[in-house]
Structure 1
């Protein structure tokens, strides 16, 4: 049985996409965007580039505070992107949507004696607020967030404080669970830990590395960890 399970949050346990769309819709409407779908598509393209740069080690806050400026520029508008970013984060703090079955999975694993912890690249205030609001915080004994650590997954240094605190961690007794193969799976591989790629949409792995396990459902994750 796995002793330590490190969980990503967004789109692994929390339904980030649902809250993201709600938050973006409010921001776009406030600033006068009429084609909301086009606005969201534009933001998502910009945001993907931003997070790729962050995961490569580029300055986090500088990039995040530019993403709305860049989005609205592409939409032919000039706004205060830093203000829009603050407004958007305030909305995200109230995004308490859980993926169906997430709480049952965590409860079962905790009751079985697995040590559960969070390992996320998300913004600290937002992630802590969402964990508490969704009542999932009660299942975790530790929270590791890139904003505190100073490194983001897939950098293996993200895992250094985790491995320093839990000295017996290794690839046999520890698993990283997440939906992003480029961050969660690669990060675990670099840190010499096992990984479960949570892949409910049956996406194709186009990378040249493989997760230790693949799971499409929470039942499969539970079986892998408790086996």
Structure 2
């Protein structure tokens, strides 16, 4: 049985994609875009590029501030991108959607006596507010957020304060669990920890990264933690 479970938040426990879709489509519509499907896909492509750069060490805030300017420019519109970024951040504050079964999963890990730790990239105020709104905060022993730490997953330095707070944490008693290969799984690899790729959609792994385990459900993750 493992002692520690480090859990990513977005699309591992919190349903980020649902809140993202609702928020982006609202911003597009309010600013004159009629084809919301095309607009959303344009934003998602640009946002993916932005986060790829962040995960490779680029400064977070300057890049995030370009997302809406670039999206609307690609769609033929001129907007105040920074204002829309602030509006979107406020929307994310209210994204309390969770993935089906997430609360029961966390409650079960607590009952089993595991130390449950959150390890997430993101903005501190947004992530803490979303956890509180989703009523998940109490299930975590500690919450570690990249804005606080100063480094984003997959940088090994993201895990430094976690390892310092739990000095007995090792690869044999800990699993890092997340949905993103390039941040969660590579981050665990860089930190010398075993990992679980949470892959409920059965997506194809086209990368050279090899998670220690792969799980399509919370039940499978629980089995790996209790084995």
1:44 shift after superposition: 0.2
TM-score (normalizing by structure 1): 0.99
Contact 2:116–2:142 (8 Å) recurs in 1: yes
- For residues 149 and 219 of structure 1, the distance between their equivalents in structure 2, rounded to whole angstroms, comes to 31
* Superposition CA RMSD, Å: 0.7
- For residues 201 and 46 of structure 1, the distance between their equivalents in structure 2, rounded to whole angstroms, comes to 23
Q: Does 1:123 align with 2:120?
A: no
Q: Paired residue for 1:221?
A: 221
Task: Give 1:50-61 correspondences, 5 Å limit.
Answer: 50-61=50-61
Q: Paired residue for 1:155?
A: 155
Q: Paired residue for 1:35?
A: 35
Show CA shifts across 1:46-88 (max 9, x none): 0000000000110100000111000011011110000000001
Q: Does 1:82 align with 2:82?
A: yes
Classify the secondary structure of the residue corresponding to 2:221. helix
Q: Paired residue for 1:73?
A: 73
1:14 shift after superposition: 0.7
List gaps (5 residues or longer) in structure 2. Answer: none
Q: Paired residue for 1:145?
A: 145
Q: Paired residue for 1:4?
A: 4
1:203 shift after superposition: 1.1
Q: Paired residue for 2:180?
A: 180
Contact 2:178–2:198 (8 Å) recurs in 1: yes
Show CA shifts across 1:73-131 (max 9, x none): 10111100000000011011101001011011100101111001110012211111110
Q: Does 1:134 align with 2:107?
A: no
Which stretches of structure 1, 4 residues or more, deviate above 2 A after TM superposition?
A: none
